[in-house]
């Protein structure tokens, strides 16, 4: 009992510290019955963060946007992604059911990089897209990225003084999970199917340590309820495990939507002194078994979705965009509202 009394003040002090430096988001992965896997995330930001949905077919030639030493590749898989400001892929799922989510991590420190040097570079705006373009499973991605054949490089978000610091989570249709972080200039990979919850700060090792404290307190009696990242992580971890395990997709989707909304921040709530208390702007839910990607804009009362079996992901397929940045009003299956569009330019180095 004495040990717990000493731990709680330290935990609370740590939570207050990270609340002053973190910008929040939450990500969860649900595993039901008979191969039912669903990944959900929220995007929280202090101001507007315009989002659009994009369809990218196979066969797109890409550059890492890091100067003459940029990594180059041709997309092996088609994907549907959510863009931020049409300069980065921040969320998405590919045609094999691999899901990627970028979340803010202020503790990120990327390797030193020479723009025209010998080491290959990949701009952070393309990190998620590279994974969706090239891999069908988490294990494949972990095998390649762990070789450190290239490095992730970052820069300021165009038009701002905000230096982009993110970590990447991925999950696949089997329920496997991995989280990639750059800590002190080194890539750290957490690979385990049990890593079903994630927020922004602190680094993932410390998120697990905080959660281990709360596991000693039954969630039916008390759960931390603030908007801080550590508290959202605990709630996400508890509820994603507590909801029914089912293969009824309507029930499973409703349950997962309930969990990610429980970890969201109501629109209009923010704090100048606590940037972690930022309003949820949008949410996504990816059904990796049936390959359906859902988008929930908080300023639109309707959830929309895209069914992958209706999309032409072949190399003859077209790049298409569903404009959402001006809070356009759609409802339900919205594939017919996508318009053929030139691809956006990914943000590169300053």
Q: Which domains does the chain have, with CATH numbers?
A: 2-340 (3.60.60.10)
For 258: left if phi > 0, alpha if psi spans -120 to 50, otherwise beta; the answer is alpha
Please give the pLDDT value at position 306.
98
pLDDT for the residue numbered 108:
83
Compute the distance between CA of residue 281 and CA of residue 90 in angstroms, rounded to an integer.
13
22 vs 290, residue with greater confidence: 290
Contact 198, 175 (CB under 8 A): no
Q: Which residues pair with 122 in a beta bridge?
A: 152
Return the number of other C-beta atoms located less than 10 Å from residue 221's C-beta. 6
Structure tokens at 126: 């393309």
pLDDT score of 114 more than 80:
no
| Class of residue 115 by CB neighbours under 10 A (exposed 0-12, middle 13-18, buried 19+) | middle
Quick check: 339 pLDDT over 90? Answer: yes
Q: What is the DSSP letter of 70?
A: B
Task: Identify the residue whose tokens are 């923010």.
Answer: 270
DSSP helix/strand/coil, 203: coil
Q: Does 213 score more than 60 pLDDT?
A: no
Of 263, 227, 272, nearest in space to 243 by CA: 263
CA distance 213 to 234: 10
**Is residue 142 packed enough to be buried (19+ CB in 10 Å), middle (13-18) or exposed (0-12)?**
middle
User: Quick one: which of 233, 172, 170 has its CA closest to 200?
Assistant: 233
Catalytic center residues:
25
Q: What is the pTM of this model?
A: 0.86
**How deeply is 47 buried, as exposed, middle or buried, from its count of CB atoms within 10 A (0-12, 13-18, 19+)?**
exposed
First to last CA, the chain: 53
Contact 127, 201 (CB under 8 A): no
Place of tokens 């659009």: 52
More confident residue, 261 or 99: 99
The residue assigned the tokens 């019955």 is 33
Nearest to 195 by CA among 170, 227, 216: 170
Place of tokens 């041709």: 74
pLDDT category, 16, cuts 50, 70, 90?
very low
* For residue 23, pLDDT beyond 60: no
Residue in the block written with tokens 């990500």: 27
Residues 313 and 320: beta-carbon distance below 8 Å = no
Query: What stretches of 150-301 show up as alpha helix (H) in DSSP?
Result: 204-214, 229-242, 249-262
pLDDT > 70 in the chain, percent: 80
> 277 pLDDT exceeds 70?
no
Residue 327: pLDDT band (50, 70, 90) is confident
Percent of the chain with pLDDT over 90: 58
Higher confidence at residue 267 or residue 253? Answer: 253
What residues does 180 pair with on adjacent strands? 168, 189
215-237 pLDDT, tens digit each: 545 555 556 656 676 777 778 88
Whether the CA torsion 30, 32, 35, 38 is positive or negative: it is negative
């Amino acid at each position: 009992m004495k040990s717990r009394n000493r731990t709680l003040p330290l935990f609370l002090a740590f939570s207050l510290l990270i609340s002053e430096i973190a910008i929040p988001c939450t990500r969860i992965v649900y595993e039901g019955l008979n191969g039912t896997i669903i990944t959900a995330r929220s995007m929280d930001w202090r101001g507007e963060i315009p989002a659009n949905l994009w369809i990218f077919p196979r066969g797109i030639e890409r550059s890492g946007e890091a100067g003459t030493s940029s990594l180059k590749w041709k997309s092996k898989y088609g994907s549907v992604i959510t863009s931020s400001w049409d300069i980065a892929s921040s969320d998405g799922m590919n045609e094999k059911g691999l899901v990627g989510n970028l979340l803010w991590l202020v503790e990120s420190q990327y390797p030193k990089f020479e723009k025209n040097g010998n080491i290959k570079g990949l701009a952070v705006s393309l990190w998620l897209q590279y994974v969706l373009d090239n891999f069908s499973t988490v294990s494949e991605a972990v095998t390649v990225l762990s070789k450190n054949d290239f490095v992730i490089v970052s820069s300021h978000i165009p038009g701002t003084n905000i230096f982009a610091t993110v970590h990447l989570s991925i999950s696949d249709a089997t329920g496997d999970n991995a989280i990639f972080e750059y800590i002190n200039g080194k890539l750290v990979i957490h690979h385990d199917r049990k890593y079903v919850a994630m927020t922004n700060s602190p680094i993932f090792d410390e998120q697990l340590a905080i959660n281990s404290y709360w596991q000693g307190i039954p969630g039916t009696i008390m759960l931390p309820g603030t908007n801080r990242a550590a508290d959202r992580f605990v709630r996400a971890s508890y509820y994603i495990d507590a909801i029914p395990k089912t293969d009824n997709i309507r029930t499973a989707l409703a349950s997962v939507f309930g969990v990610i909304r429980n970890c969201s921040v109501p629109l209009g709530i923010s704090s100048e002194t606590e940037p972690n208390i930022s309003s949820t702007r949008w949410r996504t839910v990816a059904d990796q078994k049936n390959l359906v990607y859902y988008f929930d804009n908080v300023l639109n009362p309707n959830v929309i979705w895209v069914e992958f079996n209706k999309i032409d992901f072949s190399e003859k397929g077209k790049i298409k965009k569903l404009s959402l940045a001006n809070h356009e009003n759609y409802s339900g299956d919205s594939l017919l509202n996508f318009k053929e569009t030139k691809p956006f330019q990914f943000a590169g180095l300053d």
